Amino acid sequence: MKMEADSIWLFDYDQGMAYERFSQCEDADGAIAQCLSARFDFSNKAILEIGAGSGKFTGFLAERTTSLAVVERSASLIAINESKNRNRADFINSDLGKLDFDADSFDVVFGGWSLTSMRDMFGRVFPILQNAMKKDGQIIIVENAGNDEFTKIAGIEELTSQMRNFYAECGFKEEAVLDTVIRLPNQETFFDAFPNLKAQGIKLPSLEISHKVVIMRASAPDFRLEE
């Protein structure tokens, strides 16, 4: 399955604080962290977090390991992340596709709502991650599951379905599908993060938006790029 670059992705990643305010509203009840804690042992693992944004999961990972490398291409977002998690990780402000890690460097690659945003450069990203993972390593991703209010409002139902099927073809197994909630203090928090949706005249049904999330995992030997 060939993924093409397009203009559907939603955030303006240069608007770091708008992204951060919305990020704080995602998974308001902490269901994702609870699930990750129950299913995966991150202790004593060398972890690479890709597309870490403003740090939705960085603190969670840093609390569980002593070796964490964080990659984020947005200078605005990585500055916020580093201010929250200073001295807890090695921060790399770069496009993942431009990096070259030593072989067999990481036990775990983790991506929270990030791998899909790299779909226009999977041909570069997948080999980099395959090389960086240890032979018995794994890649864990958190992504949108679809069939919920958020993907309908955002207009990404088709993309979400395509990506979920694509990841299955790339060796990922679904570990859990979670019903979470985006709990907003006001509508501005949503539309500041998604200015294109505001420009389209999208209306929010309420300040609580249902959001289904899928947690997927692939072992290093199974992780592959399907053409």
Residue 221 has pLDDT above 50, yes or no: yes
- pLDDT of 102 reads 97
Top-confidence residue, 36 or 6: 36
139-195, pLDDT tens digit by residue? 999 999 999 999 999 999 999 999 999 999 999 999 999 999 999 999 999 999 999
**Where does the pLDDT of residue 12 fall: very low under 50, low under 70, confident under 90, or very high at 90 and above?**
confident
One DSSP character per residue, the chain reads: -PPPP-S-----TT-HHHHHHHHTTTTTT-HHHHHHHHH---TT-EEEEES-TTTTTHHHHHTT-SEEEEEES-HHHHHHHHHHSTTSSEEEES-GGG--PPTT-EEEEEEES-SGGGGGGHHHHHHHHHHHEEEEEEEEEEEE--SSHHHHHHT-HHHHHHHHHHHHHTT-EEEEEEEEEEE-SSHHHHHHH-HHHHHTT---S-SEEEEEEEEEEEETTT-----
Cβ atoms 176, 214 nearer than 8 A: yes
Indicate whether 4 pLDDT > 50. no
| pLDDT of 114 strictly over 90 | yes
- Three-class SS of 46-111: EEEEECCCCCCCHHHHHCCCCEEEEEECCHHHHHHHHHHCCCCCEEEECCHHHCCCCCCCEEEEEE
- Give the pLDDT score at 14: 76
pTM above the 0.75 mark? Answer: yes
d(CA 116, CA 102): 24
Percent of the chain residues past pLDDT 90, beyond the cut: 90
pLDDT at 203: 93
What gap in Å lies between CA 94 and CA 198, rounded to an integer? 29
CB-neighbour burial class of residue 198 (10 A; exposed 0-12, middle 13-18, buried 19+): middle
Q: Which CATH architecture has domain 16-219?
A: 3-Layer(aba) Sandwich (3.40)
Confidence grade of residue 211 (pLDDT, cut at 50, 70, 90): very high
CB 213 within 8 A of CB 173: no
Q: pLDDT tens digits, residue range 71-112? A: 999 999 999 999 999 999 999 999 999 999 999 999 999 999
pLDDT for position 227: 66
Strand partners, 208: 183
Q: What is the pLDDT of residue 10?
A: 66
pLDDT at res. 9? 55
